[in-house]
Amino acid sequence: MVNRTRKHSFSILLSNEEYALWLKKHKASGLNKTDYFIKLMNRSIIKVYRFDEILNTLYKELRKIGINLNQIAALANSGRLPQAEIEIYNMLKVYNSVMISLKSFLDKPLIHAEILKAGGDVP
């Protein structure tokens, strides 16, 4: 790692346990801190899980179902049972769709993940 100009620095905060682990591994490497960090960074695989979009969509759909349940309860309590039954039927379609999406997500959550490999581009 010769003839390299280093212009940037940063600091991080570690717990006592994290710092002890850092020192242990750094010392075992025999490298200076910078070279050890660069080797660590270049050889690592970091998994970044991005569930925001799918979870937000599922949350919104579940919230709609809750609102529909309140409306159905209001219809039933006011004696409009035929309308309540129609709303229950309509809501069940949405509920089943959400449950299928949720099951699919829970079965294979890594479909929505990105893996950053050493030397790779960061999204």
Reply yes or no on whether the pLDDT at 67 is more than 50: yes
The arithmetic mean of pLDDT across residues 12-40, rounded, is 89
Relative orientation angle of helices 52-77 and 81-107, to the nearest 10 degrees: 160
Q: CA of 118: how far to CAs of 5, 41, 44, 58, 78, in Å?
A: 21, 7, 6, 33, 63
Quick one: pLDDT band at residue 112, thresholds 50, 70, 90?
Answer: low
| Cβ(115)–Cβ(46) below 8 Å | yes
Q: Looking at the domain assignment, is residue 3 inside a domain? A: no
Q: Is there a single domain that holds both residue 62 and residue 107?
A: yes
What residues make up the domain containing 39? Answer: 16-43
Q: Is there a single domain that holds both residue 57 and residue 103?
A: yes
Into how many domains does the chain fold? 2
- Structure token digits, residue 95: 């509920």
The arithmetic mean of pLDDT across residues 21-46, rounded, is 84
Q: What is the pLDDT of residue 20?
A: 93
| Cβ(112)–Cβ(51) below 8 Å | yes
Q: Is there a single domain that holds both residue 38 and residue 64?
A: no
The span from the CA of 48 to the CA of 113, in Å, is 6
Higher pLDDT, 119 or 29: 29
